[in-house]
Amino acid sequence: MSTAASAKNGTWRNWGGNVAARPAREVTPASVDELAAAVRKAAEDGLKVKAVGTGHSFTSIAATDGVLIRPHLLTGIRTIDRDSMTVTVEAGTPLKRLNMALAREGLSLTNMGDIMEQTVSGATSTGTHGTGRESGSIAAQIKGLELVTADGSVLSCSEKENPEVFAAARIGLGALGVVTAITFAVEPIFLLTAREEPMSFDKVTSAFDELWAENEHFEFYWFPHTGSTNTKRNNRSAGPEKPVPQLQGWFEDEFLSNGVFQVAQWVGRAAPGTIPSIARISSKALSSRTYTDIPYKVFTSPRRVRFVEMEYAVPREAVVETLQELKTMVDRSGLRVSFPVEVRTAPADDITLSTASGRDSAYIAVHMVKGTPYQAYFTAAERIFTAHEGRPHWGKVHTRDAEYFAGVYPRFGEFTALRDRLDPDRRFQNDYLRRVLGA
Ligand SMILES: Cc1cc2nc3c(=O)[nH]c(=O)nc-3n(C[C@H](O)[C@H](O)[C@H](O)COP(=O)(O)OP(=O)(O)OC[C@H]3O[C@@H](n4cnc5c(N)ncnc54)[C@H](O)[C@@H]3O)c2cc1C
């Protein structure tokens, strides 16, 4: 598995390199029983407990000074049920392994995010999502969950069994227990045709509603300091399969999107004044392409340039105005932003603390390359996002607290009441959860 997060000299670091923690001890349970025993032992020793995935979160949501539970030995597929079209996987399974195993069985998830390095439990616990008109986040595809709660007992939930736990625990922030297995809805594998096409900022924002309505999965990247975007439309296709040829794929996805992009980031970091010119040149170099492939090969791609990210969900009808405000802010500021801004959508879902809970949503994500100061840009962007009742991604940089969340999540109290019931002694607490959920 890709171990993005590292632990050297007892220090745990996340993928973005902006969070570090020193756990009191690490355990790598190989079974649900071992995991439950580790939770009970932590309680005896008066230590907090935190299960981690691959450390791909940019917030300190996965940091702990207590017992760090590693996922590496809780991996693999438990069962595939072709009658109910579900798959049950161990919680530490990397999404990549799940996607590849499903494809071998002729099955697929319906929607996914940009990468597949994360574990299934890590990805779903923070509400990881891609883009979709009807299909929601990865957590919205969950049909059942098994978790070890603070007293070391195993609790199962689904729409029928413990439905109040199911409503919240699909995006549980690691606050309700340690997830040990997840049951996902799957469908027969299908083909998607991707159409990538440059488009002006003015055109994509004026036609956003149609572009969203006409495509199953629509997203675009805006290049700050330019009026250019690159759009991507993914729609189901009857075939034939027409993958990006291997050499072309290497050139476009590895050399241009990762290699040349990395060099441009280094130049921009050394000489920030060159960033607007680099952005204009690179946005002009974009070209259209169309390919047809199985879902995970269309939805996901490698991300080798390390960065730090903030992403907010705003009501979908507010996305164009929010983005225009962001563009005006960047144009008027002295900021130098070398990373594209990503825009995606999700339909309303029924998960208590999902960023799309009860509201059709659009996501706007801002990034800065690792090692460059991001605070000024993110602070200015966050001011714009919160003015539109934005809900930050739980795993991406933000400064919001429990008081704010009580205002933007109508069911916030439902989540905290369940947490009071399942974890009264705050065994799964850390500084981040104290801030976002309250003590
Ligand atoms: C390069 C990159 C690309 C990304 N792309 C996207 C994207 O397209 N869409 C998107 O929405 N996000 C994206 N993200 C964010 C990322 O998907 C989330 O932060 C995700 O939570 C990371 O998963 P992880 O396995 O690394 O979990 P971690 O970051 O290690 O942990 C996240 C949370 O999950 C909890 N957790 C982990 N395992 C368990 C368990 N077994 N039981 C209970 N809680 C558990 C942890 O306690 C923590 O609270 C991206 C991040 C990076 C670095």
Question: Are residue 264 and residue 352 in the same domain, yes or no?
Answer: yes
C-alpha–C-alpha distance, residues 414 and 402, integer Å: 13
Q: What is the pLDDT of residue 354?
A: 98
Pocket of ligand 1 (CB under 6 A): 15, 50-57, 61-62, 91, 113-115, 118-119, 121-123, 125-126, 128-130, 173-174, 178-179, 303, 393, 395
Going by C-alpha positions, the residue among 380, 290, 275, 295 that lies closest to residue 337 is 275
User: Structure tokens of 317?
Assistant: 């009808």
Question: Are residue 180 and residue 247 in the same domain, yes or no?
Answer: no
User: Structure tokens of 380?
Assistant: 């200015």
The identity of residue 394, as a single letter, is: W
Q: What is the pLDDT of residue 8?
A: 63
CATH number at residue 285: 3.40.462.10
- Using most ligand atoms within 8 A of CB, pick from 2, 56, 296 the residue to mutate for ligand 1: 56
What does pLDDT average to in each consecutive run of 10 residues of the chain (439 residues)?
54 94 96 97 97 97 97 97 98 98 98 97 98 98 98 97 98 98 98 96 98 98 94 97 78 65 74 79 80 97 89 98 98 92 98 98 96 95 98 98 98 98 98 97
Beta strands in 84-202 (DSSP E): 86-90, 107-108, 142-148, 154-158, 178-185, 187-188, 191-200
User: Structure tokens of 394?
Assistant: 């739980």
CATH number at residue 85: 3.30.465.10
| Number of independent structural domains in the chain | 2
Question: Are residue 151 and residue 102 in the same domain, yes or no?
Answer: yes
Parent domain of 344: 191-392
Burial bucket for residue 359 (CB in 10 Å: 0-12, 13-18, 19+): buried
CB 362 within 8 A of CB 313: yes
Measured in Å, residue 59 CA sits from the centre of ligand 1 at 10
Question: Are residue 90 and residue 225 in the same domain, yes or no?
Answer: no
Question: Are residue 222 and residue 348 in the same domain, yes or no?
Answer: yes
Question: Are residue 279 and residue 296 in the same domain, yes or no?
Answer: yes
- Using most ligand atoms within 8 A of CB, pick from 31, 57, 397 the residue to mutate for ligand 1: 57
